[in-house]
Amino acid sequence: MARVVRVIDGDTIVVDRGRGGERLRYIGMDTPETVKPGSPVEWMGRESADANRALVEGATVVLEKDVSETDQYGRLLRHVWLHDGATWRLVDLELVRDGYARVSTYPPDVKYVDLYLAAQVDAREHDRGLWGAGPITFLSPVDGATVTTKTVVVRGTAPAGSRVVRDISNAPDQSTRVASDGSWSLEVKLRSGRNSLRFRVDNEKATTRTLQVIYAP
């Protein structure tokens, strides 16, 4: 048993087992960053932290060890359970099922990996959280537009301070930093015919959106 002293972000908390505060990292899942030094708050990061806070802040929880005691940063590695009458709730699993976290496992700590993967499939099929529409919008050109110039400037919106990345197959990615007003733009060279331009926020593949542009010189 332990008391949750503080919620740091979506996958890390501080608990007190009677020996003072200890940092604890949930096992089997990962949430977007909100407190990583030198990095912007990632999409859905605040929502993930808020969801975790709503579940466990100030609560008494049961900690279940898998195999490892701590991670490389000295944080406890545990599955975290809430007990409500006759009901047991696995916090890690609920965050995955609600789309606030994605499955991320490191053997040998894989006890509940099948449950997590099934929950992630459910979240994706129902477009919850990280698997929803995503934070990127396109302003110009419009999806499906036909252009007559080989080079176009793609403009859109995304979370301020984040990085919009154009995912290019078999070539280095392009990227740009989003301005404080949420605007971004990238100059793109097209090939003749239909172009499927893929963009994401930072390394969050779940945010990927595709813009179709037809180049007809």
Residues identified as active-site: 25, 33, 75
Residues facing residue 186 across a β-bridge: 154
Q: Cα Rg for the chain, rounded, in angstroms?
A: 21
| Dist CA 65 CA 78 (whole Å) | 5
> DSSP labels for 109-127?
B-TTHHHHHHHHHHHHHTT
Residues 24 and 6: their CA atoms lie apart, in Å, by: 10
Query: 178, 162 in Cβ contact below 8 A?
Result: yes
- Edge to edge, the sheet with strand 151-157 lists 137-140, 151-157, 183-189
One-letter identity of residue 102: R
